[in-house]
Structure 1
Amino acid sequence: MYVHAVSPFICDPVEKLDGLKSDLKNYTDFFFRRVNKFILLSLMGVPRCVHGKNIGTSTAVFLTTENGNLGDTENVLHQIYRENSFPKPFNFINTMSNTASFYVAQSLKSLGRSITVSSRNVSFERGLELAMADFELGVISEALVGGVDEAVFSREYFVKKYDASYHDVKLVEGSSWLYLTPERFGAMGKITDIRTFDERDAAIRWAGEAAGTRTVFAFGILMTPGEKEIWRKKCHEGSEFDYIAEHGYYDTAASFAVSTFIESGDGTSLIHVNRNAQGQYVVLACEKY
């Protein structure tokens, strides 16, 4: 799959939506009246990504997210269990995270497939795999694949899930997208492969064979300092893109790492190493031109 446009977008946790709405109007004339933060975040990355592009009406949308619509889900649960009342219809409807991918497709006037993908800690990678399969089958000719998540607001949840200190990581909100086609002409990069491994040694061996002299490595949040050190010793001693330390973290931040590297990163290729909830290693390789 060849990358023809990218849009890495992150921001500090947002409470008031007016700023996002105002910024979004600079890129699109799409009318968005009753939308929530998750939908706005989803829309923030897309117009930037396709700005100036003449995309087709059959463009597929793969919106990947770890948590979906956290804000409205919290509101609905509060209304039910704290206020002992029925949830407000608008809040209740928007707890369906697939609503966001519908809005994205609608803003693009796309009649193609629109899918929301979630897979514990490797949602973006799984979304890319689905798009890759559809390209290989000839089902689609254009696709937008993005990672969208609100900042995690629960310290207890963060520490339990990632076994990491809440204070050691800057939590941000993000919406990073890639515009993909099977055509190389005019491309700025390529998603070369995505592999899943049960064992570390197999993953390291494959990544070492895939790496070149100017390959940059990046690691997901479940890769502990000890894990990273093993990879450095066995697989690479070159450059590393620590996007979490440099820019902050949201749960589909791999999308930000890939889009940022292709847009402005050093080196000619990136290998991103992540782990899922089952302890498997998910390795993504991409190139920039």
Structure 2
Amino acid sequence: MNAEPLRLAAVSAHERILDDAPQDLRAELLDMTGQAFRRINRFIELAVYGALRCGREAGGVGDDTALYLASEAPMLADCVRALRGVIAEARPPTPFEFMNISGNMAGFYIAQHLRMRGPQLAVHRNSASLECALELLQLQSARHRRALLGYVEEGVWPLAEQRLRLGLPATAELSESSHWFYLDADCAAPLGLIDPIERCSTLEQAQRALADAPAQWRVAIGHRCSRADIDALRAVRRDAQALDADATYSTATTAARLIGFLLLDSAPGLLQVNHSGDGGYYLLRVRRA
């Protein structure tokens, strides 16, 4: 793949607002794979579950498919557990805690069950990691014709402690999700096309991009944009959608919005602006084929 538009052949989404106990995914994974998963963490469960569902939606993936897995805070529950053990209990992490914190463990299980032999990359970044993964997919050096791209957000319990870590109100809803995209450069009838990712170095450039978007397009603001960013961007497009983080916290807004546009919307295109985390802004454009 290169700077040509990425062709979306299939997508899948698993989303859930969290309550006091995690949803049991292992029974469903057993039905899907015929294998009992015992020593994997929640993040790996979500990643494998979502990737297998997307593979089914695609009718199978080629064995040369590349795997890109993006997340803002991967394996967080195991990281919390390991750090608590080291700091509060003065004990080292268990072998499985240490192994499951590795960024590529989820990809190992996905490749094993989908029989994929392509390259694998885990993109773990505190801001706009999905946009970053798409940017990497569109490099001239990315020569693979097919890629399975996922974004996973893991739930961490107890929820009250997680809200404190995130600085959220006690009433804020937390979520977990596993969103996946199968990209195939040879797909004859794609669900949509993702244009090359663009970067803006200033808020003014992002405002101009939003103002220049066709009136019929959906426009949106990513979850990493500040309140000041949201106000400035809505000054040029009042219809720009944005998430109220105090009501529902999610890092998967971009992935969910993209799939919602592809499956549920009739607009000809979607433009989202999101803060890149390094002082600039990402522009993500998706349009009908």
TM-score of the aligned structures, taking structure 2 as reference length? 0.86
Shift of 1:237: 4.2
Within a 5 Å distance, the mapping from 1:163-242 to structure 2 comes to 165-167=168-170, 169-209=172-212, 211-234=213-236, 236-238=237-239, 240-242=240-242
Aligned residues: 278
Q: Quick one: which amino acid aligns to residue 114 of structure 1? A: Q
Residue of structure 2 in register with 1:275 after alignment: 275
Task: Name 1:126's counterpart in structure 2.
Answer: 132
Per the alignment, residue 68 of structure 1 pairs with: 74
Report the AA paired with residue 71 of structure 1: A
Sort the Cα spacing of 1:187 and 1:25 in 2 relative to 1 into closer, same or farther, 3 A.
farther
Residue equivalent to 2:3: none
Taking a change above 3 Å as real, the CA distance of residues 260 and 28 of structure 1, as seen in their structure-2 partners, is farther
Shift of residue 193, structure 1, vs aligned partner: 2.7
Cα RMSD, aligned residues only = 2.5
Output the CA distance in 2 between the equivalents of 1:5 and 1:30: 25
Contact 1:64 1:252 in 2 (8 A): no
Q: What do the CA deviations read for 1:25-51 (whole angstroms, capped 9, x no partner)?
A: 454445533211010011121122121
Partner deviation per Cα, 1:258-289 (whole Å, 9 max, x = no partner) = 12221223412111111133331111111135
Q: What does residue 52 of structure 2 align with?
A: 47
- Counterpart CA distance in 2 for 1:254 and 1:286 is 11
Q: Residues 266, 225 of structure 1: CA spacing in aligned structure 2 closer, same or farther, 3 A cutoff?
A: farther
Matched, 1:141 2:141: no
- Whether the 8 Å CA contact 2:222–2:242 is kept in 1: the answer is no
Structure 1 residues 171 and 223: alpha-carbon distance in aligned structure 2, compared to 1, 3 A threshold: same
Query: 2: distance between equivalents of 1:86 and 1:15?
Result: 28
Partner in structure 1 of residue 259 of structure 2: 259
Change (3 A) 1:119 1:167: same
Q: Could you tell me whether the CA contact under 8 Å between 1:147 and 1:253 is conserved in 2?
A: no
* Greater mean alpha carbon deviation, residues 255-264 or residues 22-31: 22-31
Provide, for residues 13-70 of structure 1, a one-character-per-residue CA deviation record: whole Å limited to 9, x for no partner.
4776672112334544455332110100111211221215131111111000111101
Change (3 A) 1:18 1:197: closer
> What's the CA shift string for 1:138-187, capped at 9, x where partnerless?
6201001111121365334323xxxxx43574221111111102235121
SS in 2 for 1:51: helix
Partner of 2:14: 9
> What TM-score comes out, normalization by structure 1 length?
0.86
Structure 2 gaps of 5+ residues are 1-5
Q: What amino acid does structure 2 have at the position aligned with 1:89?
A: P
Distance 2:223 2:171 in 1: 11
- Checking the alignment, whether the CA contact within 8 Å between 1:2 and 1:190 is kept in structure 2 is yes
Show the counterpart of 2:108.
102
Instruction: After TM superposition, give the deviation of residue 228 of structure 1 in Å.
Output: 2.3
C-alpha separation in 2, matches of 1:169 and 1:17: 17
SS in 1 for 2:93: coil
Aligned partners of 1:19, 1:281: CA distance in 2, in Å? 37
Higher helix share goes to which structure?
1
